[in-house]
Amino acid sequence: MLYLDHAATSPVRPEVLDAMRPFLTGVFGNPSSHHTVGEAAAGALEDARARVARVLGMRAGDVVFTAGGTEANNLAVKGIVLGSDRRHLVVSPIEHESILESADYLRRFHGVEVTALAVDGAGRISPDALAAALRDDTALVSLGHANNEIGTVQDVTALVAVAVARGVPLHVDAVQSAGWLPLGGLGADAVSIAGHKIGAPKGVGALAVRGRVPLEPLLHGGGQERGRRSGTENVAGAVALATALELSESERAAVAGQVGAATRRFIDAVLAGVDRAALTGDPAHRLPGTASFTFAGTSGEAVLLELERRGVVSSSGSACAAGSDEPSHVLLACGVPPEVAQTSVRFTFGREPLPDDAPERLAALVAEAVRAVGG
């Protein structure tokens, strides 16, 4: 089986399992307990916090450990807006559901006005459009670094510069870009990551938010995470996240180059071998391991089934929308007609090396699958 759905989740790395195992067994204490067992756990937690902060270019005290990327995005959007006296939020229509649903919650229950920036056909956001959307009462801009469906990468540096010039905090959802793109120099006020995209287990993530930005907690109770996220911390998960993030960062330049080259070969072979194939997302500004296509006149789900019969596991888009027969909101926002959007198939490569001929062999299997469903 060839697993090509790493944007949904990746396997836990052996080094990560080794790093977290002591904190599931011998060093099992509650980090809030004031005895030697608890203090050992607290020390590991703070070490993990500092390690995550270094990769993100933030201070250790900025890092809040969460139960994953969805919680991190919810905390960023709801927490920063509710911590402000401003009531205007800027997002884009191609964001992850955790951002869009948080924005809708704020609109419905807190009277927050939400502006959705237009994107071009490749899913890119114009800095000029962001500048035009900002107002004196804008509390936050929340945008994805790289899209989870089409792989388009935003010019975050330019977007941050626009927000900084107006004194508006900008949150970057870096769940998909972590391990593939540099995160340390983004300059954003808040950054979300998730462990299971980079080789840590599911159920752990982090939001790094600069100390100057007021943050209203979503979870109240014991005041853990400096009062910003109550609940007994997942020490083993935090260690796992820090380890996976450091490993992926140390390998990033080499792996991104290798995977990017293989993905480009695969894209070229699919476009050459399948008449109805169309690449979605920006052809140049995209994640190294993401290739997303529409196959007009077919059914994306049927193509997926044919691929799995041939030993290839991929997806039709965001795993968070699994089971939905609605066309992708990302593709619709990019101007793709609904009937074509429903034919989308996403291939997302991992960091492990593939055989030299894998891109072309995989493209041939895609062509077979599309022909099998009548495309």
Task: Give me the pLDDT at residue 354, please.
Answer: 87
Task: Note the pLDDT tens digit of each residue in 279-293.
Answer: 999 999 999 999 999
Task: Note the pLDDT tens digit of each residue in 50-92.
Answer: 999 999 999 999 999 999 999 999 999 999 999 999 999 999 9
Task: Note the pLDDT tens digit of each residue in 182-195.
Answer: 999 999 999 999 99
CATH classification at residue 299:
3.90.1150.10
CATH classification at residue 217:
3.40.640.10
User: Is residue 121 domain-shared with residue 267, that is, in the same domain?
Assistant: no
User: Is residue 257 domain-shared with residue 243, that is, in the same domain?
Assistant: no
User: Is residue 274 domain-shared with residue 240, that is, in the same domain?
Assistant: no
> What gap in Å lies between CA 86 and CA 28, rounded to an integer?
42
Catalytic residue among 118, 261, 320, 322: 320
Average pLDDT on 8-25 reads: 97
> What gap in Å lies between CA 124 and CA 143, rounded to an integer?
11
**Does 323 score more than 60 pLDDT?**
no
Question: To the nearest whole percent, how much of the chain has pLDDT over 90?
Answer: 95
User: Is residue 217 domain-shared with residue 275, that is, in the same domain?
Assistant: no
Lowest mean pLDDT among 121-130, 296-305, 315-324, 346-355: 315-324
User: Is residue 67 domain-shared with residue 194, that is, in the same domain?
Assistant: yes
User: Is residue 215 domain-shared with residue 257, that is, in the same domain?
Assistant: no
User: Is residue 212 domain-shared with residue 346, that is, in the same domain?
Assistant: no
Domain coverage including residue 31: 14-248
**Pair 206, 193: CB distance under 8 Å:** yes
Average pLDDT on 282-310 reads: 97
Task: Give me the pLDDT at residue 318, please.
Answer: 52
- Specify if 9 maps to a domain: no
User: Is residue 191 domain-shared with residue 83, that is, in the same domain?
Assistant: yes
Lowest mean pLDDT among 117-126, 314-323, 349-358: 314-323
- Specify if 296 maps to a domain: yes
- Specify if 59 maps to a domain: yes
Task: Note the pLDDT tens digit of each residue in 168-182.
Answer: 999 999 999 999 999
- Specify if 7 maps to a domain: no
Task: Give me the pLDDT at residue 166, please.
Answer: 97
Task: Give me the pLDDT at residue 374, please.
Answer: 80
Assign 262 to helix, strand or coil: helix
Whether 320 is catalytic = yes
**Does 321 score more than 90 pLDDT?**
no
User: Is residue 303 domain-shared with residue 240, that is, in the same domain?
Assistant: no
- Specify if 5 maps to a domain: no
Sign of CA dihedral 179, 8, 350, 158: negative
User: Is residue 211 domain-shared with residue 314, that is, in the same domain?
Assistant: no
Assign 253 to helix, strand or coil: helix
Total number of domains in the chain: 2
